[in-house]
Structure 1
Amino acid sequence: MTILEEVEKGRKEIRTDDYAMSIGEWVSMYEDGDLDIHPEFQRFFRWTEEQKSNLVESILLGIPLPPIFVSQREDGVWDVIDGLQRLSTIFQLMGIFVDHKGVKQDALVLTKTKYIPSLDGASWDGEKPIPPELKRILRRNKLSVSIILRESDENTKFDLFERLNTGGTKLSNQEVRNCILVMVNQDFYNWIRELSNDENFVATTALSDKNLQEAYDVELVLRFLLLVDASEDELKSVGDVGVYLSTKMVELAKDAAFDRGYWEARFRGVFQLLSDHVGDASFKRYSNAKGRHEGGFVISQYEAVTAGVAARIDAELDEAATATRVQQLWEHEEYTEWAKSGVTAARRLRRIIPFSRSHFTK
């Protein structure tokens, strides 16, 4: 297929429309249930009170804002793809924002801004109410919207969300994936979050607060589900690991035949065994010279050990020998050469996972 043909094909798969709507119209859509801003995303998007106040200042001053991107669902409801924080800030300002538990949040109290310092302490209807004239300005101000029509390919909105929310944002790659998962299958997302709270998983990974804040624990659960049983051909096909995780995650979340019960038992079994026999050293480097594990969490160790231990459980081999097998990984050049820093994730995976499965089942 030529470049021109690929462009034509892509344009046919993505149908869009663009126009401007007043904030009053956005509010009406939200109150009528015609706009889904996914309030559960609030745990990922972390705007400060200052950022929210700056947005309100921009609207009052007439500073143009970027367009809101939405995707039109089969039922006609708009899924907000980009602009979640802008819209939720506006709705919170007006005292109508409802969180993911269905609880109406307290109205936003503004802070001092650069050009309108008198906004400090002001709110929609509080002790220092915003003047009626300014409320009218806010309601009449228009926000542009770009709509992905429902005739578009169903994966378009997930691709667009990922492109708009990666690079230059405060969201980690997994936080973006989490948002996509909520849109694709919230029940599946909740299930993965539940697995990330498994006490043995938490104890053996021993992640930092920063890792947890950026949802790295959820990414590790996802890596387990996608890589533990991946065939060698599948591993060789991996290019960009981040893209692979995102693509396969959506496929998994949509797969009605995926056996959650089997995978949950498998996940919990692997981390129970590691917790019992290796503990929080499970995913740390092993120094043969010092005869001990040291340092912090190592992703290559996680990938290798989880795949190896899963294979060992399948083979019904002596579980008590697992700790020795973990340590012995670091005696083999086939492992250490590919587990060291500087090796790309894609090249690493296709080598250490097959090696580890064999190493743990000898």
Structure 2
Amino acid sequence: MLLLKGEVLLFPADVPASIAKIPDDVINEKYVRGEIRIVTEQARYPLSTIASIVESPTYRLSPEYQRRHRWTRNQQSRLIESLIMNVPIPPIFLYEYDYSKYEVMDGLQRLTAIHAFYRDEFSLADLTQWPELNGRTYSALPEKVREGIDRRYLSSVILLKETARNEEDALRLKQMVFERINSGGARLTPQETRNAIYDGPLNRLCIRLSKSQPLCRLWGLPLPDAQELDGGSPPEERLENDDFRRMEDVELVLRFFAFRQKRTLHKSTVPLSAYLDSYLYHGNGFDQDTLQGLECIFIDTIQLVEDVFGERSFWLYRQRRGNWSWLERPTTTIYDSLMAVASQHLDKAQLIRNKAQILRDRIESFYRENYDTFEGRNVNPSALIARESALEKFLIDTIKTA
């Protein structure tokens, strides 16, 4: 695999710690030293101040920080109805990444819902206990109801900066806490957790490239609108798409970058998800030139693949009950291998495009002959090498002989 200058990463495989029995006196000493002890404080925010907090540069409240917005207007309305009735609301969790500067670890949906309501950005809907308030914005509420809401508070638990001794320790502790406070609700996907914990230049590049039209088309995702491309909220049809909500599109971009060094960095004993974690963490240190180079490679590769293979680019031609047909949805098995091979032949892009129809005509026969290689989801290095080698030979033989 030809890599960019500055792209090469070196990091050790993640090896599980020994679980050998440790004497009680050693455990007690570790506890006294406070090696793994969270330093917190609590705070209460009047609801009337939440809007200014959300808009403050002191708080990191990017919609990309945790999950893509999932709450509907009805869900936001039910939160406001609970506040009207003074139903206890779980606290939000903040992480002090610098002195008096905070990231939201849990509670983004609650904060943004309250902010939107106080800014009259939506009207209440589907209320069950206060249906007479349906259709009302904050400003249009009866005076006493509005004053009652203003008296409510939102509690918070703040993980203080002194919890961690250094940046690496902070990252580890933040990941542990984030996963535990989110374990009781809707289960986070690996990419959602990755996005929250390993935010940085490479992560933001993956998010931006996930909006590329060829990727969206080939993965069956609704296209972003102008507002989203300009940094605004995604359109409703994207929010309703399961792959988009789970950030699988962002993981696809990360996989493309990480698989460029998978053969040298990913050990077969390490789960793929852990490898992607490590790659993103270390890749966030790429310099700007390397990031720009990776961006160009991804854009050129995904466009080349779409131009040549069309909507079936990442489909598998498979056998079921003796019959051959296309699996009419994209698979990572094909995506990972085809993107890796295509990225290595961008210098022949025009020649490959000229042979597009011949490549399409022959691809069914190729999958028939190599079905054992592509069937299943094996991501071990040996399986990856076999798939890439087969596709490489198919591509080179076709453009040379056709």
- For the aligned pair, the TM-score class normalised by the smaller chain equals 0.7 to 0.9
Long gaps (5+) in structure 2: 1-17, 223-237, 394-402
Instruction: Give CA-to-partner distance per residue, 1:227-263, whole Å, 9 cap, x none.
Output: 1331255141431x34443443233224447712332
Contact 2:314 2:330 in 1 (8 A): yes
Contact 2:301 2:343 in 1 (8 A): yes
Match of 2:369 in 1: 331
**What amino acid does structure 2 have at the position aligned with 1:234?**
H
Shift of 1:224: 0.5
Pairing partner for 2:186 from 163, 169, 188: 169
Alignment of 1:152-191 (within 5 A): 152=164, 153-155=169-171, 156-165=173-182, 168-169=185-186, 173-180=190-197, 184-185=199-200, 188-191=202-205
Question: Do structure 1's residue 15 and structure 2's residue 38 form an aligned pair?
Answer: yes
Pairing partner for 1:124 from 138, 144, 152: 138
Judged with a 3 Å threshold, the aligned counterparts in structure 2 of structure 1 residues 21 and 229 are, in CA distance, closer, same or farther, namely same
Shift of 1:198: 3.7
What is the root-mean-square deviation of aligned Cα atoms in Å? 3.9
Judged with a 3 Å threshold, the aligned counterparts in structure 2 of structure 1 residues 217 and 40 are, in CA distance, closer, same or farther, namely closer
- Secondary structure of the corresponding residue to residue 65 of structure 1: coil
Alignment of 1:36-115 (within 5 A): 36-39=60-63, 44-95=68-119, 106-115=120-129
Shift of 1:68: 0.9
Question: Do structure 1's residue 354 and structure 2's residue 385 form an aligned pair?
Answer: yes
Cα distance in structure 2, aligned partners of 1:230 and 1:75: 38
Shift of 1:285: 1.5
Q: Could you tell me the percent identity over the aligned residues?
A: 25
- Secondary structure of the corresponding residue to residue 62 of structure 1: coil
Shift of 1:333: 5.8
Match of 2:152 in 1: 141
- Secondary structure of the corresponding residue to residue 81 of structure 1: strand
**What amino acid does structure 2 have at the position aligned with 1:221?**
V
Higher-RCO chain (CA-CA 8 Å, sequence separation at least 6): 2
Shift of 1:328: 2.3
Match of 2:266 in 1: 234
Cα distance in structure 2, aligned partners of 1:280 and 1:140: 55
Shift of 1:311: 4.5
- Secondary structure of the corresponding residue to residue 262 of structure 2: coil
TM-score with structure 1 setting the length:
0.75
Deviation larger for 109-118 or 64-73: 109-118
Match of 1:307 in 2: 340
Contact 1:92 1:107 in 2 (8 A): yes
Question: Do structure 1's residue 298 and structure 2's residue 309 form an aligned pair?
Answer: no
Alignment of 1:211-290 (within 5 A): 213-214=244-245, 215-231=247-263, 234-239=266-271, 241-256=272-287, 259-287=290-318
- Secondary structure of the corresponding residue to residue 128 of structure 2: coil
Long gaps (5+) in structure 1: 96-105
Cα distance in structure 1, aligned partners of 2:205 and 2:180: 25
Cα distance in structure 1, aligned partners of 2:139 and 2:242: 39
Judged with a 3 Å threshold, the aligned counterparts in structure 2 of structure 1 residues 109 and 248 are, in CA distance, closer, same or farther, namely same
Cα distance in structure 1, aligned partners of 2:65 and 2:265: 36
Judged with a 3 Å threshold, the aligned counterparts in structure 2 of structure 1 residues 140 and 154 are, in CA distance, closer, same or farther, namely same
Contact 2:221 2:244 in 1 (8 A): no
- Secondary structure of the corresponding residue to residue 137 of structure 2: coil
Instruction: Give CA-to-partner distance per residue, 1:264-309, whole Å, 9 cap, x none.
Output: 2322333343234322222111258878745221221112222233
Cα distance in structure 1, aligned partners of 2:126 and 2:212: 43
Instruction: Give CA-to-partner distance per residue, 1:168-206, whole Å, 9 cap, x none.
Output: 42865545544556xx23x54453244334444445444
Q: Report the number of matched residues.
A: 338
Cα distance in structure 1, aligned partners of 2:262 and 2:348: 17
Cα distance in structure 1, aligned partners of 2:27 and 2:178: 21
